[in-house]
Amino acid sequence: MKQFLGFLRKEFLHIFRDPRTMIIIFGIPVVQLMLFGKVISTDIQNAKIAILDQSHDNTTREISSKLLSSGYFVLGQELLPGDNVEDVFRQGKVKMIVTFGPEFEHNLERDGKADVQLLADASDPNTARILTNYASGIINDYVKKEKLQNIQLPDQINVEVRMLYNEGLKSVYMFVPGIMAMILMLISAMMTSISISKEKEMGTMEVLLASPLKPIQIVLGKVTPYLLLSFINALTIILLGVFVFGVPIKGSFLLLMGEAFLFILMALSLGILISTVAPNQMVAMFISLLGLMLPTILLSGFIFPIQNMPLPLRIVSNILPPRWFIVIIRNIMLKGTGIQYIWKETMVLIFMAFTFIALSIKNFKIRLE
């Protein structure tokens, strides 16, 4: 028994003296809990909406203020009758448009009913569904309360809900862009980083560097196979999405593939960067999985809406390349936007690619010293 206790004591000493183990035992559960608690919340706060009020009477104003003071919505834009609804959604400024028809109150008093239209951007069907539900709930709530107080106000306000871009609220529309981002990151970034790290670990990298091969040839040689494979994969995913799941490509196919190519380049340069800091394959894989895969799945807007997340997580989300790529893909495929609406996101990806390449070169030079 004494021997066992001695052994047990040694084991505890190992654990407490190793910072990495301590992080895993205490740090990770806390992080996980905070992350999942905050990220997987289906509650929506401060979603940007636009209101098109063609009446501007007391009732419409009261309903509007009820909506905006609920905590669920903020006014992203006040719309005028001439405004192009498609443009507003394409710009991505609002997630839902609430429209009150003309002579709203008048219709209500005279005919006993009036119509409200909720137009939601359903390229993210989960959010759209929640937003329309909330809004409908608030409006109906208003009717009930008013009915109790003021017997003159008749029955119903019809709420007409329309889901734009994804009438069927098919979640596959949401997933396909996210899956594409994830797989391209996996193949391009992770596999590239593992391949180069493996060469370092095996000792063959030194032999290559001592040979007449120029470093640029080595890097290109490592990267090109994954470039080709990733591109084929991107194509396959899109084709499967279109022909098996019926995901539309409303925008330009060429633009779509162009953006995919850009994303692959960015992911490859990230893979190279990881390989310059990872001494062996295991570390490269670890960094790729924990640093890329997990955040991509949780924080990139792939599954869980970004605007639900607390500010710190939203900031983190902004430095994740997939977050921008998903916006681009969703826009092209589901909303049919051209480059003029997604140039900002495209610039971000280009900037990231350049940064990774510059950092990789810097790291490489330092090692040569």
Min separation Cβ 207 and other proteins, Å: 4
Q: Token pair 């809900």 is at which residue?
A: 161
Which lies closer to other proteins via its Cβ, residue 17 or residue 367?
367
Q: How near is the Cβ of 131 to other proteins at its closest, in Å? A: 53
**Residue nearer to other proteins on the CB measure, 34 or 202:** 202
Q: How far is the CB of 186 from other proteins (least distance, A)?
A: 21
Of residues 339, 335, 139, the one with CA closest to residue 247: 335
Q: How far is the CB of 352 from other proteins (least distance, A)?
A: 31
The size of the chain, in residues, is: 369
Residues that bind other proteins in the complex, under the rule CB under 8 A: 202-204, 206-214, 368-369
Q: Which is nearer to other proteins, 9 or 214 (CB)?
A: 214
Sheet holding 47-53, edge to edge: 73-79, 47-53, 96-100, 113-121, 156-164
Nearer to other proteins, 151 or 366 (CB): 366
Q: Are 52 and 98 a contacting pair, CB within 8 Å?
A: yes
Report d(CA 326, CA 328) in Å as an integer: 5
69: its two tokens = 């003071």
What type of residue sits at position 310?
Answer: P
Residue placing its CB nearer to other proteins in the complex, 148 or 210: 210
271-to-113, 191, 196, 226, 260 alpha-carbon distances in Å: 60, 7, 9, 10, 16
Rounded least distance, CB 288 to other proteins, Å? 21
